[in-house]
Amino acid sequence: MMTDPLSKPMHILLVDDNPNNLKVLSEAIQGYGWKALMATDGESAIEQTEYAHPDLILLDVMMPGIDGFETCRRLKANPITQNTPIIFMTALSETTDKVKGLEIGAVDYITKPFQQEEVIARLKLHLKISYLTRTLEQRVQERTAELSQSLQRLQQTQLQLIQSEKMSTLGQLVAGIGHEINNPVGFLDGNTSHIKGYVNDLLRLIYLYQEKLPDPDPEIEDLVEEIDFEYITEDLPKLLTSMSQGISRLKDISLSLRTFARADMSSKVEYQIHEGIDSTLMLLKHRLKDNGDRPRIHTITEYCELPPISCYPGQLNQVFMNIIANAIDAFDEYYHNHSHQAPLNEQNTLTITTLVDPQQQSVTICIQDNGPGMPPEVQARVFEPSFTTKPVGKGTGLGLAISYQIIVDKHNGQIRCFSMPGEGTKFVINLPI
């Protein structure tokens, strides 16, 4: 019979340069019956881990000397300490830092200021996972399923936390930019109409002077010739029209930003999906243009009449953004690597089709490109967390994993990928109305 791994005293190493944090954490840990070891910098943490063999390490990211990330790398590179689970403590809100921590071997992170109950709950979970991992060979048939489920739940929780923070931060930022653009755009829009009127009035005045005084002073004639008055009178209305079009474009971008980043994290709302697709295409419009290496990508939208569906609009828009941006990346990478060869197609296209199935009470969104496509072994892994074919620094591998979670877990839908090398890629999303 297996004993409870948490029944014997556990040794937790706390690494933080803030004495107050160490005090609060050690009291919480000792109050639970565990032993607290303490270090105030990365070097001493590494030394203690080698001789004291703690069961788990709570490691602060920002410390003098070597920071938490470097400390973690060194611990994971040492055979003596590489299996000790590490949980980062961080006050940073940037998702990239948290992803970086998970990528270099940490099992979790806790954001400061922390709740004692949350700290204890996470310590219990990771101590148990660590224990199960160490004894897996002895109890492989008995515990494999349980361990896999624990790890999967943990991975999904981490993805969900990263996704929530990304959407919350991105949503506030993008919506804020949309609102900020509105003020100067409104000012420009209002004044442009006045400027048009003033220009017309001034031109009428000049024409009247020319009519009433047909023989002007030679100095005036010289100035008329110098500034090319005739050209100005032709070009000025065109410039004002161009300015009006630019202001109209800014209005569209502002609206797209606010549509894309709707604050809808708390509950589902009725939403017209076509608005989300259109706002995403608007935001990516600059990337679809000819960029020198790669010809323009033409977008084709084939919409049927869709009813509004109950959903989280901001999250669905993020899915559209991930898929369309990945298609653009694939085109860009192909043309970058094959710049001296013939174009991939007669015309690069991205086709977005929507359908409704009244009987199944569902809608289907199909996003298809005629790009380079992908081999079967890549297609099979596109929804795996941290799987990416992009160069280092170009992608985290979380985009499609989070998209899968949004469609399947949050909306009870389906998302599938179909692709063949040289034949493009198609994503099919099915959502209940």
Domain boundaries defined on the chain: 11-135, 169-258, 267-432
Amino acid letter for position 69: F
Are 32 and 7 a contacting pair, CB within 8 Å?
Answer: no
Tokens of 79: 């055979």
Closest CA to 183 of 251, 127, 134, 241: 251
Q: What is the pLDDT of residue 260?
A: 63
With 60 as the cut, is the pLDDT of residue 246 above it? yes
Cα four-point dihedral sign 142, 143, 148, 153: positive
Residue 356's identity, in one-letter code, is V
Phi, psi of 420 (to 5 degrees): -140, 140
148-175 mean pLDDT:
63
pLDDT at 405: 83
Q: 11-135, which class in CATH?
A: alpha beta
Beta strand pairing status for 348-357 and 362-369? antiparallel
Q: What pTM was computed for the model? A: 0.48
pLDDT tens digit sequence for 162-181: 655 555 555 566 666 766 77
Q: What is the pLDDT of residue 73?
A: 93
Q: How confident is the model at residue 1 (pLDDT cuts 50, 70, 90)?
A: very low
Residues above pLDDT 90, as percent of the chain: 22
Q: Let me know: does 387 contact 397? Beta carbons within 8 Å.
A: yes
Q: Rounded mean pLDDT of 95-101?
A: 71
User: What is the pLDDT averaged over residues 13-25?
Assistant: 90
Give me the residues paired with residue 38 across strands: 14
Range 366-389 average pLDDT? 86
Cα 47 to Cα 52: distance, rounded to the nearest angstrom: 8
Q: Name the pLDDT band for 229 (thresholds 50, 70, 90).
A: confident
Res 54 pLDDT > 70: yes
CATH superfamily of 267-432: Histidine kinase-like ATPase, C-terminal domain (3.30.565.10)
Task: Compute how many other C-beta atoms are within 10 angstroms of the C-beta atom of residue 296.
Answer: 11
Q: Per-residue pLDDT averaged across 407-428, rounded?
A: 91
Ranges 1-15, 213-227, 340-354: which has the least confidence? 1-15
Residue 128 contacts by C-beta under 8 Å, 6 or more apart in sequence?
A: 5, 6, 150
Q: Are 410 and 402 in contact (CB under 8 A)?
A: no
CB atoms within 10 A of CB 29: 23
Is the per-residue pLDDT at 65 higher than 80? yes
How far out from the chain centre does Cα 15 lie? 31
φ/ψ of residue 344, rounded to 5 = -60, -45
Over its C-alpha atoms, the chain yields an Rg (Å, rounded) of 30
Contact between residue 192 and residue 184 where contact means Cβ atoms under 8 Å apart: no
Query: In the predicted model, is pLDDT for residue 8 greater than 80?
Result: no
Contact call for residues 15 and 71 (beta carbons, < 8 A) = yes
Least confident piece of the model among 108-117, 131-140, 332-341 = 131-140
Q: Mean pLDDT of all residues in the chain?
A: 82
The pLDDT assigned to 397 comes to 64
Alpha-carbon distance 103 to 88, whole Å? 12
Q: How far are the Cα atoms of 59, 78, 119, 158, 282 from residue 66, in angstroms, in the given order?
A: 12, 16, 24, 26, 44
End-to-end CA distance of the chain: 50
Quick check: 303 pLDDT over 90? yes
Q: Please indicate whether residue 161 or residue 84 has the higher confidence score (pLDDT).
A: 84
Residue 350 is inside which H or E element, if any?
strand 348-357
Q: Are 20 and 89 in contact (CB under 8 A)?
A: no
Least confident among 136-150, 196-210, 214-228 = 136-150
Which is more confident, 365 or 401?
365
* Angle formed by the axes of helices 229-260 and 273-283, nearest 10°: 130
Buried residues in 198-221 as b, exposed as e (16+ CB within 10 A) = eeeeeeeeeeeeeeeeeeeeeeee
Alpha-carbon distance 102 to 75, whole Å?
A: 14
Tokens of 106: 């940490």
Per-residue exposure over 247-262, b if at least 16 CB sit within 10 Å of its own CB, e if not: beebbebbbbbbbbbb
- Among 172-181, 239-248, 256-265, 291-300, the least confident range: 256-265
Question: 182: Cβ–Cβ under 8 A, 6 or more apart, which residues?
Answer: 254
Phi-psi map region of 427: left, alpha, beta (phi>0 left; psi -120 to 50 alpha): beta
Identify the burial level of 189 via C-beta atoms within 10 angstroms of its C-beta, where 0-12 means exposed, 13-18 middle and 19 or more buried. Answer: middle
Contacts for 275-279: CB closer than 8 Å, 24+ residues apart: 276/313, 276/316, 276/317, 276/320, 277/301, 277/320, 277/352, 277/354, 277/365, 279/255, 279/317
The residue with greater pLDDT, 378 or 314, is 378
Q: 36 is written with which tokens?
A: 């607290």
What would the two tokens of residue 310 be? 């109950």
